[in-house]
């Protein structure tokens, strides 16, 4: 049979992925040139810039949900995607269409004429900026990919900068100390632009404060200038902010760590709404607005309940700090369940330390491997797992097969957690959505 012709969208994705999904170049000249040829689309709307190690996506989601609820047309750019490339670029909660992907890629690729060709992330970032301009958004919330100082997103001049937290990662590019990491993440701090952060390490705080002082950027620190407090015995929290207090906020996403992300998002929103023209009635950050906006916040693949019968939790948990957070969640929220843990980890992560935090809560372990060249061999994972785990271990390299096997054994007293990498979660989510949701 003759080979079926690919759609323009699929041909476009093939070209995007051939650019080198993990190519990293530490300079901004290439994307600056592309955007200049496109008439600098990123200058046509207001921006919030979000960097950090963990919590960037959920923090960005909270901010965008509140802005949308206030009546602003709002774009959000995040990475990586779980199932479809389109997830990275959304306007008012709607993913960019397939035709929109093609149009943005063709526009960006046509002006990629610099001394070197743009990487995957540079092209995707330029596509997002171009699409948001075409859609005439009022605000765009932009998440960095890696680092900050030389991240492709760092050509923006935001209204507010957000730095979530710091945990050692990508040492080849970002350095091996918290001080090094803070210097890279703090590269998003711009002159006279307020920055909010939840960085807790003293060395990291000192670096960020120094950078902010040099830029004359107002600096706001979680637990010092604003905070969130959980009510005893309840899932609600109180926000004690820079300018105001908001009581009885329902946690929009599960996990104790979301208190911090919520605090950062609300501090950023306080600054956004305070700094804008008061004559625009949309800039009125009332408690009802905040509650309604947060109620609509969705962030898939992070402590996501993918289905309830059987109970399946999806969580990227893609680095040590995220694995620690997930381990604490499993120890409490799923304490009454017999847990099957499906896990695959990338080879540049501290996989043994991650396993140490996750395996104590599992009764059965399934080791798997996402379809990406950085995925860790399941035999290596098993060698490390045997140091901490005495229960049954299966090796099922195909993520979708591993997920199907775990779900097939589900029952009321059991739960499945799929974790270790957002790429694992993405492949599993595609299978679960196909078999259980459709």
Same domain, 206 and 262: yes
Element (H, E) at 395: strand 393-395
Alpha-carbon distance 267 to 63, whole Å? 10
Alpha-carbon distance 300 to 40, whole Å? 31
Same domain, 278 and 389: no
Is residue 122 a part of any domain in this protein? yes
Q: What is the pLDDT of residue 167?
A: 77
Q: What is the pLDDT along the chain (438 residues), one digit of tens a residue?
A: 456 678 999 999 999 998 865 456 678 999 999 999 999 999 999 999 999 988 999 999 999 999 999 999 999 999 989 999 999 999 999 999 999 999 999 999 999 998 888 999 999 999 999 999 999 999 999 999 988 899 999 999 999 999 998 876 665 656 678 998 899 999 999 999 999 999 999 999 999 999 999 999 999 999 999 999 999 888 899 999 999 999 999 998 888 889 999 999 999 999 999 866 667 889 999 999 999 999 999 989 989 998 888 899 999 988 898 999 999 999 988 888 999 999 999 998 999 999 999 999 999 999 999 998 889 999 999 999 999 999 999 999 999 999 999 998 777 889 999 999 999 999 999 988 876 554
Same domain, 181 and 225: yes
Look up the domain containing 361 and give its range: 304-437
CATH number of the structural domain spanning residue 341: 3.90.190.20
Same domain, 243 and 274: yes
Is residue 130 a part of any domain in this protein? yes
Q: What is the pLDDT of residue 157?
A: 97
Query: Distance of alpha carbon 294 from its chain centroid, rounded?
Result: 17
> Which residue, of 262, 295, 328, is where some domain finishes?
295
- Give the residue from 428, 434, 380 showing the smallest Cα distance to 405: 428
Same domain, 248 and 376: no
Is residue 188 a part of any domain in this protein? yes
Is residue 3 a part of any domain in this protein? no
Is residue 223 a part of any domain in this protein? yes
Cβ-contact 329, 303 below 8 angstroms: yes
Same domain, 248 and 162: yes
CATH number of the structural domain spanning residue 186: 3.40.1190.10
Cβ-contact 37, 278 below 8 angstroms: no
Same domain, 275 and 329: no
Same domain, 350 and 281: no
Q: What is the pLDDT of residue 173?
A: 58
Alpha-carbon distance 356 to 393, whole Å? 15
Is residue 37 a part of any domain in this protein? yes
Q: What is the pLDDT of residue 25?
A: 67
> Which residue, of 295, 330, 348, is where some domain finishes?
295
Would you call 367 helix, strand, or coil by DSSP? Answer: strand
Same domain, 430 and 312: yes
Beta strand residue intervals within 193-235, DSSP E = 195-197, 219-221, 227-230
Same domain, 65 and 133: yes
Which residues neighbour 151 within 8 Å (Cβ) at sequence distance 6 or greater? 51, 144, 145, 187, 188
- Give the residue from 252, 249, 253 showing the smallest Cα distance to 236: 249
Is residue 30 a part of any domain in this protein? yes
Our CA dihedral for 288, 290, 295, 298, rounded to 10 degrees, sits at: 160
Same domain, 177 and 252: yes
Q: How many domains does the chain have?
A: 2
Same domain, 354 and 385: yes
Q: What is the pLDDT of residue 137?
A: 98
Alpha-carbon distance 432 to 422, whole Å? 15
Is residue 1 a part of any domain in this protein? no
> Which residue, of 295, 330, 350, is where some domain finishes?
295
């Amino acid at each position: 049979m003759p080979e079926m012709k690919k759609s323009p969208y699929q041909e476009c994705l093939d070209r995007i992925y051939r650019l080198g999904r993990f190519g990293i170049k530490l300079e901004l000249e290439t994307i600056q040139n592309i955007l200049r040829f496109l008439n600098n689309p990123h200058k046509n709307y207001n921006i919030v810039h979000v960097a950090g190690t963990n919590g960037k996506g959920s923090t960005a989601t909270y901010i965008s949900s509140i802005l949308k609820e206030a009546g602003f047309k709002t774009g959000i750019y995040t990475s990586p995607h779980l199932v479809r490339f389109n997830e990275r670029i959304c306007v008012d909660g709607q993913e960019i269409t397939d035709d929109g992907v093609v149009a943005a890629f063709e526009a960006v690729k046509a002006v990629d004429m610099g001394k070197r060709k743009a990487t995957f992330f540079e092209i995707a970032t330029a596509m997002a900026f171009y699409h948001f301009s075409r859609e005439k958004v009022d605000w765009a919330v932009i998440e960095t990919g890696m680092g900050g100082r030389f991240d492709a997103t760092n050509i923006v001049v935001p209204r507010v900068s957000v730095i979530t937290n710091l945990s050692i990662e990508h040492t080849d590019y970002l350095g091996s100390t918290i001080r090094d990491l803070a210097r890279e993440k703090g590269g998003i701090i711009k002159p006279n632009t307020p920055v909010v952060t939840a960085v807790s390490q003293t060395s990291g705080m000192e670096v960020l404060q120094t950078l902010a002082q040099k830029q004359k950027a107002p600096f706001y620190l979680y637990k010092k200038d604003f905070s969130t407090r959980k009510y005893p015995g309840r899932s609600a929290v109180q926000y004690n902010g820079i300018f105001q207090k908001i009581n009885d906020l329902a946690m929009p996403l599960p996990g104790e760590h979301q208190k911090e992300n919520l605090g950062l998002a609300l501090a950023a929103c306080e600054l956004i709404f305070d700094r804008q023209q008061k004559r625009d009635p949309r800039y009125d950050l009332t408690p009802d607005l905040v509650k309604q906006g947060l109620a609509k916040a969705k962030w898939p693949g992070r402590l996501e309940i993918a289905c309830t019968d059987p109970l399946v939790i999806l969580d990227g948990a893609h680095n040590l700090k995220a694995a620690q957070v997930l381990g604490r969640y499993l120890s409490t929220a799923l304490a009454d369940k017999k847990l099957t843990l499906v896990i695959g980890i990338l080879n540049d992560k501290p996989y043994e330390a991650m396993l140490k935090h996750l395996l104590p809560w599992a009764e059965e372990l399934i080791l798997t491997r996402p379809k990406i060249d950085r995925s860790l061999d399941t035999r290596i994972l098993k060698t490390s797992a045997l140091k901490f785990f005495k229960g049954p271990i299966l090796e099922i390299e195909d993520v979708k097969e591993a997920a199907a096997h775990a779900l097939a054994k589900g029952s009321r007293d059991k739960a499945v957690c799929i974790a270790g990498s957002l790429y694992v979660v993405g492949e599993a989510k595609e299978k679960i959505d196909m078999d259980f949701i459709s």
